[in-house]
Amino acid sequence: MLEWAYAGINFSAKTTEPWADDGGIECAAHSTLRQRLFETTLTLIIASWEIYYATYHAKNQLGTSFPREYARERQGRPSVLRRLVLVCYALLWGIEIGFKLASRQLIYILNPCHMVTLIQIILLTFSSNYYTRGLYRLHVGMLNGGTLAIYFPVTSTRLFPFEVELYYIQHILILVVPVFLLSSHGGYSLEPVGSFRWTISAIATFRFYHYLVLQPISLLTWVNLNGVLCPFQFDPFIGRYYRLWANIHQTLFMIIHHKLFSVVARTCVQFDIRRIMYYTARRQHQKMTISDISKDK
């Protein structure tokens, strides 16, 4: 019934392995059902424990509240710049959906990077509150996909002009928008470097999403969504247990990426040009006020 969403995917583009990166019957047969059940059960147990730990045991660590780090929360309507960024970002995402509809590959919109883009559009749309601040911190732990997509691009399914360029623009914006939100008077803040509550929550969310959402859809359609059906050709851990290896190296990478991104984002916000201009203008105003007082004397 939903074949129109993946009818345009080419399952015959094979290179070194007997299966295609995009999916197909050979890709679906890479792992037995018994192995998939074992890996899914093990991963969900680990993810459930991570949610429990992040919710209860890490509750008293740093980072449970939402301090206004480097940004003052703006009351009322969002700034013109923020609304402009929202319009441009939503337009790019709409063009991306249009490309996938035209190529009959809409199923790829379920890939994690597109979901992160949707979260960022939501954060740009709504004003800051307790839930959006939590969503902001959670999604910052999921930005590793943007970095991986830039260094290991998968563009073979992009057929239209400007579609490859849009791929890079989208994934660069995935890394830039959180810094913009942090510095745009939105009241958002990053998890302290010494706390891992939101990092663990993001990792567990990724596990649930891959094994409970992407994997069933991939098995029904034979589409290799984010590598849950069979390993990509460039996977250094290609083999029978590549998913277990992926759980290990991606967990480590998400932790490292989250903490490094937090450090870089804080550094960028500290040197925010708008803030520098604000303090420069404020100092000039103070000097003018002091000079006026001295003249009156």
Do residues 173 and 92 make contact, with C-beta atoms less than 8 angstroms apart? yes
Residue 284: pLDDT over 80: no
User: For residue range 221-254, what is the model confidence (pLDDT) as tens digits?
Assistant: 999 998 898 888 877 888 888 999 999 999 999 9
The CB-side HSE value for 184 (13 A sphere, CA atoms) comes to: 21
In this structure, the dihedral spanned by the alpha carbons of residues 244, 249, 251 and 254, taken in order and rounded to 10 degrees, is -150
Q: Which residue, chain included where needed, has tokens 């679906």?
A: 28
Strand, coil or helix: 23: strand
Q: Phi then psi for 208, rounded to 5 degrees? A: -60, -45
**Model confidence pTM above 0.85:** no
Do residues 71 and 163 make contact, with C-beta atoms less than 8 angstroms apart? no
Alpha helices in the chain (DSSP H): 25-28, 33-52, 80-102, 112-125, 130-140, 144-151, 163-183, 197-208, 215-221, 242-270, 273-296
The top-scoring range by mean pLDDT among 5-9, 142-146, 159-163 is 142-146
Q: Which residue, chain included where needed, has tokens 């040197």?
A: 271
- What is the DSSP-derived secondary structure letter of residue 3? G
Q: Quick one: pLDDT band at residue 192, thresholds 50, 70, 90?
A: confident
